[in-house]
Amino acid sequence: MKYKALGNTGLLVSQLCLGTMTFSDGTGVYEHIGNVDQAGADELVKASIDAGINFFDTADVYSAGASERTLGQSFHNLGIPRNEVVLATKVYSRMGQGRNDVGASRGHIMDAVEASLRRLQTDHIDLYQIHATDILTPVEETLRALDDLVRQGKVRYLGVSNWQAWRIATALGISTRLNLERFNTLQAYYSIAGRDLERELKPLLEAEKMGLLVWSPLAGGLLSGKFDRENQSPEGSRRSSFDFPIVDKERAWNVIDVLKPIAEAHGCSPARIALAWLLSKPVVTSVIVGAKRLSQLEDNIAAVDVLLTDDEIAKLDAASELPPEYPGWMVATQGADRMGPVDLWAGKTTRTS
């Protein structure tokens, strides 16, 4: 296992992170995702620790707190010292029927962190993440509440998930101006079948030295090896009944057409190649992998040992390339002669006689 700094901090995390959304009672929307019980969770956590994974991600909303409770109990059952793991959870989603049981307000954050600490059986959270955009709460209120939690020792680092680039930039500016703790990480959807993050978020992360934690690296199972152009809804697959996250399917089939022969050449699953592609990207800090079975987790962990050639990466990049979008294509065109004169419009004009 390899390790990287968590954003612009000195905290080291494994390049694979065990996601625990599958730790649940399997009710509601989570019946489509997993129903790993305590014994199964203990097995997955132990296998992760044995493989060198020190990073674990959950959220209060996963099965209404069941994921946090199960993960906390696993650490207790396995006798894992608290200082040997980096524990991440999230706040925002509705946790009750009250008007204030949701959001990123000071009130909800302060209530939610105490509940998460109890469920996780710990006195601190290493990475506390705002799970979504709160359209009502001022960003400054959220940041002041999070800063207080860091100063109180209940939270050590801050992250955000599923925010737009402009909103993250605004928050970072407020943190600098008011001398508040800043967001160190973004948790976002990114996969070889969904590279939208590269347009605006990737440049922001690089410029601000923020870490990227990838959720759904296999596009909800679409890149698992079960799906292809001829078999678009395999029986028993989660994605067949829960079509999420949103993916351009035609581009995904093109990607899978390239993934499969590369996987065959390496003697492994297409899923392992899809994860290895992500791990090859410098912007990625850690890839969150979830599993319902030990065999799934073991296959995902093996991705750290896959070394893709430059030619294989080029083929995968080409198959998954995003279509040009403004202002990106205009920036590229106008900036092409910055290091020396070139014909900016070569190939972009036609001549008639």
Q: Which residues contact 41 (CB under 8 A, 6 or more apart)?
A: 20, 23, 70, 71, 73, 74
Q: Is 62 a catalytic residue?
A: yes
Pairing between β-strand 16-19 and β-strand 284-289 as defined by DSSP bridges: parallel
Instruction: Quickly list DSSP for 140-152.
Output: HHHHHHHHHHHHH
Token pair 């390049």: residue: 15
Question: DSSP character for 95?
Answer: -
Sign of CA dihedral 279, 281, 286, 288: negative
- Answer for the pair 259, 272: CB distance below 8 angstroms, yes or no: no
Report DSSP letters for 188-232, one per residue: EE-BTTB-THHHHHHHHHHHHT-EEEEE-TTTTTTTSSS-BTTBS
Catalytic residue selected from 3, 30, 62, 189: 62
Tokens for 331, please give them: 């920036």
What residues contact residue 83 under an 8 Å CB cut-off, 6+ apart? none
CA distance 36 to 78: 17
Q: How far apart are CA 206 and CA 246, in angstroms?
A: 25
The residues, any chain, with a CB within 8 Å of residue 203's CB and separated by 6 or more, are 165
Catalytic residue list? 62
